[in-house]
Amino acid sequence: MTEVAERTIPVQERPAGRPLLRPGNTNCGGCGMSIALQMFGRELAGQPVQLVIPACCGAVAAGSYPFTAFGVPVVLSTFASPAAVATGLARVAALNEEPIRVVCWAGDGGTYDIGMGTLSAAAERNEDVLYICYDNEIYGNTGGQRSSATPLGAATTSTPVGKPEVKKDILAVMAAHRIPYAASVSLAHPEDAGRKFRQALAARGFRFLHILSPCPTGWKSEPAHGIQLIRLAVQSGLYPVLEIRDGRQVTINVEPDFSDLALAEYLAMQGRFRKSGVTAMVLRDAIRQHWEHLRRQA
């Protein structure tokens, strides 16, 4: 059961160790977003945080009013406005000299597509906001439609035989804004993930984190296989784990071995690729070309 709404606790009193995502949330079993929220919550260490969540699976995780599964104040926004709402909260905190860290927690649809306008504007102004995109590669909360984060060949309710376009490179888009810090986070590499969460929380200016987030419902995979899928994606080179500072300085954090076997296993463990027939051989050239580009930047 969700917890009954608690008394308002001044931000300075928020105890360390208090969970960010509490029991009773409505997330599916094996939800990558739940794992990411718990990992991020452990790195808060009592810091006062305000979340801004647009329409996405995260928006319904809390349950219905007056209950909430979130252990911090949350503003729910429209799909298009999370970065603008977060900008307002961050500026008010600065005016009041409050040590609050404002965090956008958004899915791929609200980030790659509908929210891109306000996201780009806030990044261009270098607002003091941490924007975290949990990317389950689908509009999971509205029926499983394709987004521009959906990979080539993945079946969704709006691309039933597989998406014909490749996935947008969101880190490259954000790096082009010359923001102080952008990074991809692997849930299968918790030490690297924790370090990036801490670094992003401590930094100032606009920061962007991208998290590949397994969705058993949309990926048509076993709930228990989420971390294994991420590990295979990293191992095969499909999901680069890296950091980009000031839009120019690229650091590769995890070296893949470009295993075709890992890539084939990644595809076979998900039902969403079966109709399109996308194989490791189809993806391999594109992966190598992307890594050649990354090597030139690093």
Q: Which residues pair with 212 in a beta bridge?
A: 135
CA torsion sign, 226 to 201 to 150 to 263?
A: negative
pLDDT at 24: 85
**Amino acid 6: pLDDT:** 45
Q: How far is CA 113 from CA 78, 108, 184, 297, in A?
A: 13, 8, 18, 26
Long-range CB pairs of 286-292 (<8 Å, 24+ gap) are 286/166, 287/236, 287/237, 287/238, 287/258, 287/263, 288/237, 288/258, 290/169, 290/237, 290/240, 291/237, 291/240, 291/256, 291/258
Question: DSSP letter string over the chain?
Answer: -PPBPPPP--GGGPPTT--SB-TT--PPTT-HHHHHHHHHHHHHTT--EEEEE-SSHHHHTT-STTB-SBSS-EEE--TT-HHHHHHHHHHHHHHTT--PEEEEEEEHIIIIITTHHHHHHHHHTT-S-EEEEEE-SSBGGGT-B--TTSPTT---SSSTT---SPPP-HHHHHHTTT-SEEEEE-TT-HHHHHHHHHHHHH--S-EEEEEE---HHHHT--GGGHHHHHHHHHHHTSS-EEEEETTTEEEEEE-----HHHHHHHHHT-GGGTTTT--HHHHHHHHHHHHHHHHHH-
pTM of the model: 0.94
pLDDT at 229: 98
CA distance 166 to 118: 24
Q: Residue 94: CB partners within 8 Å, gap ≥ 6?
A: 128
Tens digit of each residue's pLDDT, the chain (298 residues) = 334 344 444 554 556 667 899 888 889 999 999 999 999 999 998 899 999 999 999 999 988 888 899 999 999 999 999 999 999 999 999 999 999 999 999 999 999 999 999 999 999 999 999 999 999 999 998 999 999 999 999 999 999 999 999 999 999 999 999 999 999 999 999 999 999 999 999 999 999 999 999 999 999 999 999 999 999 999 999 999 999 999 999 999 999 999 999 999 999 999 999 999 899 999 999 999 999 999 998 8
State yes or no: cis peptide before 151, omega within 30 of 0: no
Q: Which two tokens stand for residue 15?
A: 């105890």
Domains and CATH numbers, the chain: 32-297 (3.40.50.970)
